[in-house]
């Protein structure tokens, strides 16, 4: 089996998030090349990346929820519950902010910080292959937002890379 190479890439200028990069406290992008026969349905690709969390990530989120709840940060269960009550479009606990043909933007606004994550499908070059680019932008509102971002940034990068690699390994099948 071919190893699925996830790589850091420049922030995509064609993303709907491009106007948010300059003032962000965190902005990063990671990409992976899609096999030639992969359907380019951005919703299905996003479900493959964000809708099937690994066991270690679910454990990490449980720890995160236990640590941040006393500080007024929404837990994943609270976000899921709010979205279900509103019948809002979501992928797991990530609310869908916008949907275009080749880009899906997920995100949440909280008292400490706001984040947006884009999954963008774009042509990768002259070889005719496409790639999926996951971009994250975070804005902090206060000291706790900056502290939280400082603590989770290394995990964030691991989570995004792992989600892309896991989806590729599973053949981009939605959860």
pLDDT at 135: 97
pLDDT in tens, 74-103: 788 887 777 677 776 878 778 899 999 999
Higher pLDDT, 127 or 18: 18
20 touches 134 (CB < 8 A)? no
Domains, the chain, ordered by start: 7-169 (3.30.530)
pLDDT at 65: 85
Residue 153's region, left for phi above 0, alpha for psi from -120 to 50, else beta, is alpha
With a CB cutoff of 8 Å and minimum separation 6, the contacts of 157 are 28, 30
pLDDT in tens, 33-83: 998 888 889 999 999 998 877 888 888 888 888 987 887 777 888 877 776
Pairing of strands 113-123, 26-33: unpaired
H-helix or E-strand containing 51? Answer: none
53 touches 61 (CB < 8 A)? yes
99 touches 91 (CB < 8 A)? no
Strand order in the sheet with 26-33: 7-8, 26-33, 130-140, 113-123, 103-109, 94-99, 90-91
pTM comes to 0.86
Cα Rg of the chain (Å, integer): 16
At residue 8, does pLDDT exceed 80? yes
pLDDT in tens, 117-160: 999 999 856 566 899 999 999 999 999 899 989 988 988 999 99
pLDDT at 3: 54
The average pLDDT across 158-175 equals: 89
At residue 1, does pLDDT exceed 50? no
What is the DSSP annotation of 103-121? EEEEEEE-SSEEEEEEEEE
> What's the pLDDT band for 11 if we cut at 50, 70, 90?
very high
């Amino acid at each position: 089996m071919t190893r699925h190479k996830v790589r850091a890439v420049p922030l995509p200028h064609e993303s709907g998030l491009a106007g948010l990069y300059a003032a962000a406290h965190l902005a990063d992008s990671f990409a992976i090349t899609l096999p030639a026969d992969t359907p380019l349905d951005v919703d299905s690709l996003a479900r493959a990346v964000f809708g099937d969390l690994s066991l270690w990530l679910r454990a990490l989120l449980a720890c995160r929820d236990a640590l941040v709840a006393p500080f007024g940060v929404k837990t994943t269960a609270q976000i899921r519950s709010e979205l279900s009550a509103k019948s809002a479009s979501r992928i797991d606990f990530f609310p869908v902010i916008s949907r275009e043909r080749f880009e899906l933007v997920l995100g949440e606004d909280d008292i400490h910080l706001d984040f947006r994550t884009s999954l963008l499908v774009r042509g990768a070059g002259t070889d005719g292959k496409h790639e999926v680019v996951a971009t994250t932008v975070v804005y902090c509102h206060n000291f706790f937002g900056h502290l939280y971002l400082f603590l989770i940034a290394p995990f964030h990068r691991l989570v995004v890379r792992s989600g892309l690699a896991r989806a590729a390994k599973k053949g981009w099948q939605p959860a």
